[in-house]
Amino acid sequence: MFDRKIPAMQARRRQSHADIVDGKPDEESKRHAVAAIGGKNSTIATSSADLGAADGLTPAARRAKDTGMWGLDIASAFAGAFAGLSTAKIAAFGVIVFAAAVLRGYSGFGFAIAAVPLLALFMAPELVVVIAVGMQLLGGLLDAPSARAECERAPLVWMIGGAVAGSPLGAAALAAVPARLALLAISAICFVSVIALARGFAITGPFRRREAFASGVLAGVFNGVAAMPGPPAVAYLVARGLAPTRMRATLSVFFLATAVAGLIALAWSGLVGAPALALTALGFPLMAAGTFVGVRLFRWNEGRAHRRVALALLFAIAVTSGAKALSQFL
């Protein structure tokens, strides 16, 4: 086998020498020259894939580097994110994200409740869901340093554990039960919760793990059915009578955990694309600014309106879920 290769190698060398003499060095000659200058005796890659592996670049990345087109994919992602969006819609996107972030900054939750229905008026629903989950994840990371010190850790651990256990149950329920019936059930539970809490229902006595875990399981079921883990967690913490500062911090950490789980599930489903990530990145400064304003309002107001805001958001969820379910019956 080696005897057959030697003449062929000698022929290629003679041809390369002839090309160089003629002033037309071929690509293989160039590669041999580079290796010789670098003092390397390793085998020279003879394909674009081998060349990419040699310097850690993929063939596409090498072409981008050679042609000066680094960042083209990123630019394409941002261009795709705004495809079909007029200047007015882009402005509306910014206003909605900022306003929903103010609500979230004050209450510790409510971003998706406010942002998703409004953004879905002029953007694809699956794109909106990814943006909302991504924003909540980034917002939760922004809040994490202060929330970690102020949150109520004892129920939080069991609530998160219950949410992890309940999410698959919600997904199974969604597969077994029509979505409109699931939304009606969510609406009914929210209505009952608002009425009970408004009439003074409270969970008294020492902390009990089973109550926190049960609220987490129900939140996980809501998350699996409609990507809305908030109502059971909010109702439980309001009923526990947590101080507004501790309640807000506990909800921030809880929703950070559910956002991580939600984004992983969306990525696994193939719904996390470049346009959604680009819009999330562009909207994050507005998310951060709105959260800052909401937190300042909370501190200025000393959280006196926190319970009323929480109940109002639960009522809004009940109304929107019920209306959406009834529209699917008509």
Note whether 277 and 315 are same-domain residues.
yes
Boundary of a domain, candidates 31, 47, 75? 75
Q: Assess contact for 311 and 198: CB atoms under 8 A.
A: yes
DSSP letters, 141-160, are HHHHHHHHHHS-HHHHHHHH
Report pLDDT digits (tens) over 270-329: 878 888 888 898 899 999 999 999 989 888 987 788 888 889 988 988 888 888 888 888
Q: Do both 36 and 165 map to the same domain?
A: no
Give residue-wise pLDDT tens across range 82-100. 556 678 888 999 999 999 9
Residue 287 placed within a domain = yes
Shared domain for 69 and 189, answered yes or no, is no
Report yes or no on 81 lying in a domain. Answer: no
Structural domain contains residue 280: yes
Percent of the chain with pLDDT over 90: 17
Note if the pTM is more than 0.95.
no
133 and 280 together in one domain: yes
Q: Which of 40, 75, 110 is the last residue of a domain?
A: 75
- Contact by Cβ (8 Å): 290, 192: no
**Final residue of a structural domain among 51, 75, 99:** 75
Are residues 102 and 131 both part of a single domain?
A: yes
Of 150, 143, 147, 149, nearest in space to 287 by CA: 143
Are 191 and 227 found together in one domain? yes
- 240 and 310 in a single domain? The answer is yes
Q: What is the pLDDT of residues 163-210, one digit of tens each?
A: 988 888 887 887 788 878 888 888 888 889 899 888 888 888 888 999
* Local confidence band at 80 (pLDDT 50, 70, 90 cut-offs): low
Contact predicate 260/220, CB 8 Å: no
Answer yes or no: is 258 within a domain: yes
Does 228 fall in a domain?
Answer: yes
Residues 192 and 49 in one domain: no
- DSSP codes of every residue in 259-282: HHHHHHHHHHTT---HHHHHHHHH
Rounded to whole angstroms, the Cα distance separating 173 from 186 reads: 12
Residue 80 forms part of a structural domain: no
Same domain, 176 and 249: yes
Contact 317, 185 (CB under 8 A): no
% of the chain exceeding 70 in pLDDT = 74
**pLDDT for the residue 79:** 55
d(CA 47, CA 4): 22
Structurally, the chain folds into a number of domains equal to 2
Q: Is there a single domain that holds both residue 70 and residue 99?
A: no
Q: Is the pLDDT of residue 18 over 60?
A: no
Whether residues 49 and 188 fall in one domain: no
User: What does the pLDDT look like over 153-166, one tens digit per residue?
Assistant: 889 999 999 998 88
Q: What is the pLDDT of residue 322?
A: 86
Interatomic CA distance for residues 94 and 285, integer angstroms: 10
Residue-range definition of the domain harbouring residue 64: 2-75
Domain annotation covers residue 82: no
Report if residue 146 sits inside a domain.
yes
Specify the higher pLDDT residue, 52 or 166.
166
Quick one: pLDDT at residue 210? Answer: 93
Mean pLDDT of all residues in the chain? 76
Q: How confident is the model at residue 217 (pLDDT cuts 50, 70, 90)?
A: very high
How far is residue 139 CA from its own chain's centroid?
A: 10
Read off the pLDDT of residues 137-152 as tens digits, 9 standing for 90 and up.
Answer: 898 898 888 888 888 8
Same domain for 320 and 200: yes
